[in-house]
Amino acid sequence: MNDQAIISLFEQRNEQAISESNQQYGALCRSVARDITGNDEDAEECLNDAMLAAWNAIPPAKPKNFCAYLLKLVRNAAHDRYRAAHTMKRNAANIAGSIDELAEIIPDRGDVVSEVERREMIGAINRFLQGLPQKQRDLFVRRYWYATDISSLSKMFHMTESHVTMTLSRLRKRLQKHLRKEGLL
Amino acid sequence: MNPTTFSELLTDISDEYIVSAANPHSKPIRWYQVSAIAACIVLLISAAIYPKLRIQTPEITEPPESVEEVITTMTTVQKLAEHSETQTATSPIQTSFASAAVTVNTTANISEFITANETDMPLLSVSSVNTTPTQPQKSIEKAETEPIITTHTHAVTTSPITSDEPTIQSDEPIVSQIIAIPIYRTEVQPLTTSITPNEISCYFYDPTADIISEFENLPDDLDLSNCTLICAEISGDIQNAAIIRGKIINDICQLYIAYLNENDTLDNVQIKYLLVFPNELNIKSDQLSANIIPVIGEDFFQILLEESSQSITIQY
């Protein structure tokens, strides 16, 4: 079943939309949630939260890319869980490593971000990603969006772990330079 | 902003990048990637094959100064000569040669030519060149005194050595027979018909009475009952050409034709040769092929021409 058909099921308030979404993107969503939260139970709950959010949002929302839409919902849910676990000093998984890496370029100035600043930042990141070769862009997104660990990335992209680490380090520096150039850092 | 909020901000990046990174392996190979890969493969294959096909034409600028120099030259081309023997023996009859085709076989031909001349004498020394064509015995003696040369008799094997045949292990050299056949030649005649620049061709045919009459130096007492006459017509954008020797392999008689083309001007000329084969060789015009060798140096060409002015040796 394609994305458009699944969205139609959501619009018809047909519960089959949930099962079809699960069948189509469940595995991918679980892996994203697992990499961020660090355990399967939380990942499953994140997926359920995301499905519920989708059920509530569609309609009126009509996502152009249902896969990305669902993944974003899962990621948001997983981030919420990560934040709660981090506050309680529970050990989170791969996302902690990627956030530590981002700490090299993003100075800690509190967690309050205005909506304007947020939009500008997202635009700047999109422009940065647009200027990257596809392989480097996928690597960056895999590491900092999907929170995939280094060893999995090295297998996924047929690179050595040191090569992956080095490439990511260079990408972070490029991002920092880019954000400074746009006046966001 | 802190790294955690930045990480959360990343959630809202473009959908395109998220989906693209979801399956980095499953990206379709684009047409230009396929083209590039195909081009690389073709280049690799070409790079591997081309050096083998392209054999540099060695320039014969002047005759070697000494016997030692000839031996040195023969030693370096020995393997090439043996290799080309096998190739030319199995090649089809070729009666016309474009310039490109000539270049491919040039080294092999010259190497054979040099190998042959180690027994035919003329290349050994300019100063000792005897214009009388019946000198091969002398040069054979000279060659046989050099152990390197005697081993080169392998290069005149009458048939190619194939994997099915037993490998020759004996120390005894393979002895080939040599026969001198009379040849007659017309003067270099200008050719009116248009010829492609740098092209040279050679045609063999049974001569008619009119053709035979063109050879003014043909002796009146020539006994045509015991011999076969074949006319070789060489034409092209050259200054001069001469049939210098021949070799019979697998019932195909290969004639080695040296030609001179020193200047770039378009010299369309024609030279006719009348070859008198004894009947015992049983040679027909369609069993002849030509190996055309460029020669550099007019003086050297004149030596070759004089050496083969009355007869050429045929190995068989």
Q: Provide DSSP, A34-46.
A: HHHHSSHHHHHHH
Percent of chain A with pLDDT over 90: 0
State the residue for tokens 């309050």.
A112
Instruction: Determine the average pLDDT of the residues in B94-111.
Output: 40
B19 and A113: CB-CB below 8 Å? Answer: no
Q: Provide DSSP, A72-98.
A: HHHHHHHHHHHHHHHHTTPPP-HHHHH
For an interface test with A, give the residue of B2, B19, B25 to mutate (most A CBs within 10 A): B2
pLDDT range class, residue A44, cuts 50, 70, 90:
confident
Please report whether residue B258 resides in a domain: yes
CA dist B297 and B16 (Å) reads: 72
Which of B31-45, B62-76, B198-212 is least confident?
Answer: B62-76
For an interface test with B, give the residue of A129, A130, A182 to mutate (most B CBs within 10 A): A129
B272-304 pLDDT tens trace: 898 888 888 888 888 888 888 888 888 888 888
Domains and CATH numbers, chain A: 3-92 (1.10.1740.10), 96-181 (1.20.140.160)
pLDDT range class, residue B29, cuts 50, 70, 90:
low
Q: What is the pLDDT of residue B218?
A: 79
Under 8 Å between Cβ of B260 and B101: no
Please report whether residue B284 resides in a domain: yes
For chain A, how many helices (H) and strands (E)?
A: 9, 0
By C-alpha distance, the chain A residue nearest B26 is A156
Closest-CA distance, A127 to chain B, in angstroms, reads 10
B38: amino acid identity, one letter? A
**How many Å is the Cα radius of gyration of chain B?**
29
How confident is the prediction for chain A on average, in pLDDT? 83
A144-172 pLDDT tens trace: 888 888 888 888 888 888 888 888 988 98
Q: How far is CA B124 from the centre of its chain?
A: 21
Q: Is A136 a residue whose pLDDT tops 60?
A: yes
Q: What is the pLDDT of residue A91?
A: 54
pLDDT range class, residue A94, cuts 50, 70, 90:
low
Please report whether residue B202 resides in a domain: yes
Closest-CA distance, A75 to chain B, in angstroms, reads 7
Quick one: A93 exposed, middle or buried, by C-beta within 10 A (0-12, 13-18, 19+)?
buried
Positive or negative, the CA dihedral A60, A63, A66, A69 is negative
Under 8 Å between Cβ of B270 and B304: no
Tell me, yes or no, if B26 comes closer than 8 A to chain A by beta carbon.
no
Please report whether residue B53 resides in a domain: no
Range of the domain at B299: 63-163+171-315
Please report whether residue B221 resides in a domain: yes
B-chain CB neighbours of A65 within 8 Å are 15-16, 19
Under 8 Å between Cβ of B108 and B293: no
Please report whether residue B86 resides in a domain: yes
Please report whether residue B18 resides in a domain: no
Out of A57-66, A71-80, B20-29, B35-44, the most confident range is B35-44
Length of chain B measured in residues: 316
B7 and A108: CB-CB below 8 Å? Answer: no
Q: What are B182's strand-pairing partners? A: B311
Percent of chain B with pLDDT over 70: 57
Q: What is the pLDDT of residue A29?
A: 87
3-state DSSP call for residue B170?
coil
Q: Token pair of B101, please?
A: 């085709």
φ, ψ dihedrals at A4, nearest 5° = -60, -40
Q: Provide DSSP, B95-154.
A: -EE-HHHHHHHHHHHHHHHHHHHHHH-TTT-STT--S-S--HHHHHHHHHTSHHHHHGGG
CA dist B285 and A81 (Å) reads: 95
B2 and A110: CB-CB below 8 Å? Answer: yes
CA dist B26 and B28 (Å) reads: 6
B206-228 pLDDT tens trace: 888 888 888 877 787 777 778 88
pLDDT range class, residue A50, cuts 50, 70, 90:
confident
The interface predicted TM-score of the complex, written ipTM, equals 0.83
Percent of chain B with pLDDT over 90: 4
Tell me, yes or no, if B2 comes closer than 8 A to chain A by beta carbon.
yes
Please report whether residue B301 resides in a domain: yes
Smallest Cβ distance to A95: which of B7, B19, B22? B7
**Count of structural domains, chain B:** 1
Q: Token pair of B198, please?
A: 């740098």
